[in-house]
Amino acid sequence: MKNLQRLVKISAQRITRNPYHALAAFLVMFFTFFVVGAFILVSFGSNVLLRYFESRPAVTAFLKDGTTTDKVKSIQDTLVKTQVVSKTRYVSKEEALKIYKERNKDQPLLSEFVTADVLPASIEVSTYKIDDLSKVAGILQKNSDVEEVVFQQNIIETLSSWTRALRNIGGGVVVFLLVTSFLTTLIVVGLNISIHRDEIEIMRLVGATANYIRTPFILEGIFYGAVSAAVATSVLWAIIAWFSPALQRIFSGIPLFPVNSSVFGYLLLFEVVAGIAVGVIGSFVATRKYLTV
């Protein structure tokens, strides 16, 4: 324990005596973990968005006025028999009015002249797979009681492909930045080893073990990784908190903003662990490559 305290002190002295090296390592790793964090959040957000759209009724069939409940039941039975439908829901004119008023509660003028008669009753249908939406839409369109069929296959497919592309690009960028961070740690720790070669030689001569000599450099890597990852996540947190009200308006109705603080808690944990891992690996490789003990 006493030795660990002394090794931490040695490490801290080396970092503070070479502030530009420390700053270079910090900035590169900060940028890496900022981008990593941003991609994780965007990926997380796009998943929420996708789930939101998938959970929404994907096909809506607006019914002609006067469609009886028996006919509605018959349409629903027909859909269930296809075995591709996960859920159907009948929305009466009165319910449609309620939904309309709820959505426009901030703009009372829009609701003032709207009555239940104006709005059509509808059947909302969800399928297990997006691919089955057009099949369901086709069945509904053939039904004489259906006025119009609306389905959002394109939105979900587009969102899906964007999410996939984002993950692929993001993954590539993240790997590139992590490698850059690893190399930066290796170079900075390697430079520090070179600067302290006299001290290392003395350590060896007075009987320091290899671990005693290596540990301060490993601690240095851990410091760069942990601090830069923690600061990057905190900055990301602050930025998103700052823009949350505006984003909340843009994504109105979608449960994205404000981002739950537990998400940032997990992100912080993940980034700090990843930062420590990059720092440890970078400094470990540096000590193996540049340090003779």
Q: Summarize as ranges the residues that interact with other proteins (CB under 8 A).
A: 2-3, 6, 13, 17, 198-199, 201-210, 212, 293
Q: What element of type H or E holds 284?
A: helix 261-290
Measured N-to-C along each axis, helices 153-195 and 210-250 cross at an angle, to the nearest 10 degrees, of: 150
- Looking at the Cβ atoms of 210 and 238, the one nearer to other proteins is 210
Q: How far is the CB of 2 from other proteins (least distance, A)?
A: 6
Q: How far is the CB of 20 from other proteins (least distance, A)?
A: 18
CB within 8 A of 6, min separation 6: which ones? Answer: none
Q: How far is the CB of 206 from other proteins (least distance, A)?
A: 4
- Looking at the Cβ atoms of 2 and 129, the one nearer to other proteins is 2
Q: How far is the CB of 204 from other proteins (least distance, A)?
A: 7
- Looking at the Cβ atoms of 109 and 206, the one nearer to other proteins is 206
CA distances from 79 to 67, 137, 146 (A): 17, 10, 13
3-class secondary structure, 84? coil
Q: How far is the CB of 18 from other proteins (least distance, A)?
A: 12
- Looking at the Cβ atoms of 6 and 89, the one nearer to other proteins is 6
Q: How far apart are CA 240 and CA 260, in angstroms?
A: 11
- Looking at the Cβ atoms of 73 and 289, the one nearer to other proteins is 289
- Looking at the Cβ atoms of 25 and 203, the one nearer to other proteins is 203
Q: How far is the CB of 9 from other proteins (least distance, A)?
A: 10
**260: Cα within 13 Å, side-chain hemisphere:** 7
Q: How far apart are CA 171 and CA 40, in angstroms?
A: 10
Q: How far is the CB of 277 from other proteins (least distance, A)?
A: 26
Question: Residue 220 in contact with residue 273, Cβ under 8 Å?
Answer: no
- Looking at the Cβ atoms of 150 and 202, the one nearer to other proteins is 202
List, as one string, the DSSP characters of 251-270: TTTSTTSSPPHHHHHHHHHH
Beta-ladder partners of 124: 60, 89
CB atoms within 10 A of CB 53: 17
Provide φ and ψ at 51, rounded to 5°. Answer: -60, -40
Q: How far is the CB of 261 from other proteins (least distance, A)?
A: 42
- Looking at the Cβ atoms of 157 and 201, the one nearer to other proteins is 201
CB burial of residue 220 (10 Å; 0-12, 13-18, 19+): buried
CA distances from 85 to 106, 127, 195, 212, 259 (A): 35, 4, 69, 66, 32
